[in-house]
Amino acid sequence: MFSLSDIHPLSEFQRSAKAFIARLKQTKAPMVLTVNGKAAAVVQDAESYQQLLDRMELLESIAGIRKSIEEFEQGEGIPLKEAFHRVRRGSQQRLESIDQLLGDDPEI
């Protein structure tokens, strides 16, 4: 949640960009920028943004794992050996397709 001290007009941000960026780095808190009194953008320091992306990626992975577990518990899916077999077979087919495209040309 944003506090009132984290909401600023875009014009104020533009006038004092260096000071705002220093504050973003120091506080690690995002800031809402407004245009005509309405929220228009959210800015934050790069390190905090990267941490946010990392957390989102982790949460998406956990959600995928949970979904897979639910599917497994419902009898969906395939055995691990069959999954590996399909992956290997697909990889082998792609390699064969590449070989066919390249032909016997020793220059390639």
Residue 4 has pLDDT above 90, yes or no: no
pLDDT for 56 equals 97
- Residue 86, class by beta-carbon neighbours within 10 Å (0-12 exposed, 13-18 middle, 19+ buried)? exposed
Q: What is the mean pLDDT of the chain?
A: 89
Residue 38 has a pLDDT of 96
Q: Report the pLDDT averaged over residues 25-41.
A: 95
Give the separation between CA 6 and CA 12, rounded to whole angstroms: 12
Query: How do residues 68-83 score in pLDDT, each as one tens digit?
Result: 899 888 988 888 888 8
